[in-house]
C-alpha cells in the first residue's frame, strides 16, 4: 500500500542558493515534483542558508504553512529515490548568526524552522491597517 506522504504534491522553490541547483532540480522532476518560482504556490522551500528575500518573506507571510528545508533533504530524496519525510532535524536550516540577528531585530526569538508554530494568530499582518492615498 502506498503511503499518503508519497501521494502528496510537491511544489518546490529554491531560495538563496549558493550551491549548484542542477542535481537538486533534476531530483524534484524525477520524483514527480514541480519546480516553482511563485512563493504563493510552493509546498517546500529549499535553501542552504537563511537569506531574507522577497520570496522568503512572502512565504513567511502566507496563511498556509510551507516546509522549509536544507538542500540535504533533496540529496537524501535522490539517494533513496523517493520523497523522504522532512521532520528530521538534519533537514532544518541552521544559521545561528542570522537567526540571532533576526531575533534582535524582531525583539522576539526567531526560528525559521518553527515559524508557523509561533507566528501571531491571524498571520503576520493581523491588526495592521494599510492606508492608500
Distance between CA atoms of residues 39 and 62, nearest Å: 9
Does the global pTM surpass 0.85?
Answer: no
**Least confident span in 48-57, 96-105, 122-131:** 122-131
Proportion of the chain above pLDDT 70, given as a percent: 76
The full set of domains in the chain, from first to last, is: 4-118 (3.40.50.10190)
> Per-residue pLDDT tens for 9-62?
899 999 988 778 999 999 999 999 999 999 999 999 999 888 888 898 888 888
Average pLDDT of the residues in 78-103: 87
Exposed/middle/buried for residue 7 (C-beta within 10 Å: 0-12, 13-18, 19+): exposed
Angstrom distance (rounded) from CA 131 to CA 133 = 7
DSSP one-letter string for 30-42 = HTT-EE---TTT-
Amino acid at each position: 500500500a502506498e503511503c499518503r506522504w508519497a501521494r502528496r504534491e510537491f511544489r518546490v522553490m529554491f531560495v538563496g542558493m549558493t550551491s549548484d541547483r542542477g542535481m537538486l532540480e533534476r531530483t524534484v522532476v524525477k520524483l514527480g515534483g514541480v519546480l516553482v518560482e511563485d512563493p504563493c504556490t510552493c509546498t517546500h522551500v529549499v535553501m542552504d542558508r537563511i537569506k531574507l528575500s522577497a520570496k522568503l518573506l512572502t512565504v513567511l507571510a502566507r496563511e498556509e504553512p510551507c516546509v522549509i528545508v536544507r538542500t540535504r533533504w533533496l540529496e537524501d530524496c535522490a539517494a533513496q529515490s523517493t520523497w523522504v519525510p522532512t521532520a528530521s532535524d538534519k533537514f532544518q536550516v541552521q544559521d545561528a548568526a542570522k537567526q540571532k540577528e533576526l531575533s534582535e531585530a524582531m525583539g522576539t526569538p526567531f526560528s525559521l524552522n518553527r515559524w508557523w508554530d509561533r507566528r501571531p494568530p491571524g498571520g503576520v499582518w493581523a491588526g495592521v491597517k494599510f492606508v492608500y492615498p
